[in-house]
Homo-oligomer: A and B are copies of this chain.
Amino acid sequence: MKILVVGLGLIGGSICKALKKYTDYTVIGSDLNKETEQTALAEKSIDTVFSGDFSESDLVIICLYPEAAEKYFAENASSMSSGTLVTDVCGIKGSFAERMKKIAADNSMEYIGIHPMAGKEFGGYANSTPDLFVNANFIVAPFEDSSEKNTDLLKKLAQQMEAGKIVVTSPENHDKMIAYTSQLAHIVSSAYVKSPELELECGFSGGSFQDMTRIATMNEVMWTDLFMQNKENLKFELDTLVKNLKKYSDALENSDAETMRELIREGRILKEENLKRRIGQPN
């Protein structure tokens, strides 16, 4: 199989490296930045730089931000061979995926989205690694009428890159879950660093501060794009969190130790149950 990876950033670069490390597929790389393409070639992360001829590729993996991914696909779909499988790695599916599906169908191709649940707080090809997906959760988000063959091909690809739990779910459910497990976490981290005490925290923090603020370094262009395309789900999660945080604030305001104990106890039990469900699971 010949695979074209479009966009050699953290995820695209890591996919190239993982494919080269764990499979025998031919990996073709494309990036707006020609230096990145040459670096990837020199490092043997890819077999060749994309020539401009899409007919070479059986599978196209678009590793761009959502808006750019859609634009790229719309502009180039007519140059791709019919029967090509196209996927993307965006952290949003939903109506974005519907539009991608339509572009594919209009050009006799199939589109099915994937979302490897792996990342780093710093992006770019320089941070990419062949083992980014090892033991990570990996979501494949076909439509009701997607072909089983291509869904299985993407699942197999995840397995080959040594992903942990591979979940097949609808684009809608993907967005609902991701709003909670990933997008909300990024907003909390971003808001957490906005205390006047931040400037003085050196020497006063343990692991919990680091855990809370690690991902505040996220790229604002990509994440705004992701958030805006999932705003109903994300707003629900954010408002649920704020509503819950206020209960702790009220307990402090009222010096109500009993309620505070109960609030913490509830959280502890929920997390303990969560940990039990996760036994043997990645992440």
Interface residues, chain A, CB within 8 Å of chain B? 117-119, 136-137, 139, 165-167, 169, 174, 176-182, 184-221, 223-225, 227-228, 231, 234-235, 237-242, 244-249, 252-253, 255, 257, 260-268, 270-272, 274-275, 277-278, 281, 283
B220 touches A165 (CB 8 A): no
A204 to B175, CA, bound (A): 10
A216 to B214, CA, bound (A): 17
Residues of B within 8 A of A180 (CB): 195, 197-198, 201, 204, 209
Given the known inter-chain contacts A188-B245, A238-B245, A238-B248, please indicate yes or no for A197 contacting B181, CB distance below 8 A. Answer: yes
A198 to B268, CA, bound (A): 13
A165 to B260, CA, bound (A): 32
A242 touches B239 (CB 8 A): no
Given the known inter-chain contacts A211-B211, A257-B224, please indicate yes or no for A197 contacting B237, CB distance below 8 A. Answer: yes
Q: Which of A191, A238, A262 has the most CB of B within 10 A?
A: A191
B190 touches A208 (CB 8 A): no
A94 to chain B, nearest CB (A): 15
Residues of B within 8 A of A191 (CB): 241, 244-245, 247-248, 267
A193 touches B224 (CB 8 A): no
Residues of B within 8 A of A184 (CB): 192, 195
A224 touches B261 (CB 8 A): yes
State the 8 A-B residue pairs at the shortest beta-carbon distance, nearest first. Answer: A190-B267, A216-B271, A220-B264, A167-B203, A185-B208, A180-B197, A181-B205, A117-B206
A207 to B186, CA, bound (A): 11
B277 touches A193 (CB 8 A): no
Q: Of B190, B214, B260, B266, which contacts A248 at CB under 8 A?
A: B190
Q: Which of A180, A203, A227, A242 has the most CB of B within 10 A?
A: A203
Residues of B within 8 A of A257 (CB): 224-225, 228
Residues of B within 8 A of A210 (CB): 283
Residues of B within 8 A of A261 (CB): 220-221, 224
A232 nearest CB neighbor, chain B only: B252
A182 touches B205 (CB 8 A): yes
Residues of B within 8 A of A266 (CB): 190, 194
Residues of B within 8 A of A247 (CB): 191
Given the known inter-chain contacts A245-B238, A253-B235, please indicate yes or no for A271 contacting B217, CB distance below 8 A. Answer: yes
